[in-house]
A and B are shown apart, each in its own frame.
Chain A
């Protein structure tokens, strides 16, 4: 039971930590990709 709680707590921390850096990065990449598409227009 305690192991399960620890596992789910670690999983939550991982989601939060990766989301914290991943969401801004994906937003930035999408912005850049939108601009980059002008090369093919």
Chain B
């Protein structure tokens, strides 16, 4: 098992001084002026220390970039850095992309230390070609690709080395930092990375507790198919759960976007726009299934804006189905589901409680805010 590490040295710089993020040289300069010190390398070293203690490998070599982009953290954890990329000074997002591109073909797991912005750079560089895992060091971490803590990331890497860990596709999300600084929240789904399927809030070795628990997913798929019937359309929002549902129904849908299945399990339309979707659901009876973003709870308005207010109104609330396994609901830690469709009246109608389909004939009555 070969490990790679890319550290974004400035990730998290803006967080402690209240800057809502660290994207861009101007913000980083301001953060330093406010007294921020980089902690990304230190946290990456914590993850590697955990990995080292679990594997018991003093001689373990980690492929990485020079200096603060990885080698420092590897050495600090008592492991041997094998430098494969020399970044510029200061480092930029382009260095993250180039380092990840250089390391990906050489490693079995690429660890990266950063936040959502770093995850986007890694996504641009490697896509689904190599398993990755984020060491959380950023300010914004809405993506589902991070370990809960640096130690948890190190532990997940060690479990992968031990074998038998499944991979899942997890969402890479990012907020528009400028918008957040002016009080607006606007997030986008940028794509998926392949990460080890080790939900941190549930027990490690229990396969039955996975967020994509196969028996729960096949039960949800059967329920949806029964409602859809032979002539209806099934609109599936993005996400690992809905992709697993499509697979359980025998359909292979693209990773990205909103996809539409026919009653006989064909892909009627892939990665549709809001306008295309509206035309489809006005032409045929349709059901919409969406799943909240794990650990965060956004149901509408983050990464699935194609399911627009017009689409939702055309389909009707009774045919709008929220799906999630019980383990995924537990991962929300008591937080409600969130809606932000851009249509305040519709948001108001959706708020309150919705029955979340959790398995065959199983629902949770769950709050929506």
Partners in one complex: no
Q: Which residues of chain A have a CB within 8 Å of any CB of chain B?
A: none
A-contacting residues of B (Cβ < 8 Å)? none
